[in-house]
Each structure stands twice: as structure tokens, then as C-alpha cells.
Amino acid sequence: SMEPNFHAGDYLITSRQAYRLFGDPQRGDVIVFKSELLDENEKPKNLIKRNIALPGETIEIKGGEVYIDGQMLQEDYLPGEAISGEMDAVTVPEGQLFVMGDNRNGSLDSRSSLVGIIDNRLVVGHVIFRLFPISRFGTL
């Protein structure tokens, strides 16, 4: 759901303290959070997504583009394909985040009732570094 920026098998360093020490998640941050989805062992799954809308902001999708408070969001990290489908305007409640995968047409994220808008308390950490593959080694 995060391709082409992240792939299955990437080794990432996630800071569990980043938001406790340096403030709340920001738009564009790649975060790991607890979900109600279950893995193959019937245990809750952690998901990796990009934070798109912050508490109090209104997000909508029209014409294949994401709009925050009526302004089209510039997303240079995306592969360039338009998002299929539309989404009516939704205001993100206080203490919550609207997250989306970078592979917008193949991501289970806040647009789905299976994930939904997530509570800040479910955030495990901020993805800050990629260890592997070596060819993509570095800070994010």
C-alpha cells in the first residue's frame, strides 16, 4: 500500500519517542500505527501509512486529487497516477488523523471503514530511516 516509496521487505527504523518529545504528527509524516485488522496469527496488525490530514482539517477527494480545507494537496512523493473514486468532505476530529497509503488505488486506509480515521493514541511511531535495501539506505 506504500509503493513505490516503501516495499515489503524494507527494514525501517521507527522512532517511538518522536511524537512524545517533539510534538504531534505532521502532514506528510510516514507513521506506524496499531489497527484492528488481524494478521495470519489472529494478532492485531500494525500498519504503515502517510499522515494526510490533521485534527480540525477537512479532507475531500475530487477529480483524482486530495483537497485539505479546499486547497489541493501537493504530493511530490506520489507516483503521479490519479486516485480513483471520490470522497465527500470529512472533518478530522480532535485527537485523530486521516492516513493514506502512497499507492492510493491499492491501499486500505482512512478512506475505508476497516481502518477509518485513526486515534492519535494508536500511533506507534514515526518512520525516520531505511536500513535495507542498501540501495535505498538513508533518512526519510
Catalytic annotation, residues: 1, 49
Burial of 63 (0-12, 13-18, 19+ CB in 10 A): exposed
Cα separation of the two ends of the chain: 17
Grid cell listed for 80: 503521479
Please, how many CA atoms are within 13 Å of residue 97, restricted to the half-sphere of its CB? 23
Grid cell listed for 96: 485523530
CB atoms under 10 Å from CB of 86, counted, come to: 10
- How many Å apart are CA 66 and CA 58, to the nearest integer? 10
Grid cell listed for 77: 512523493
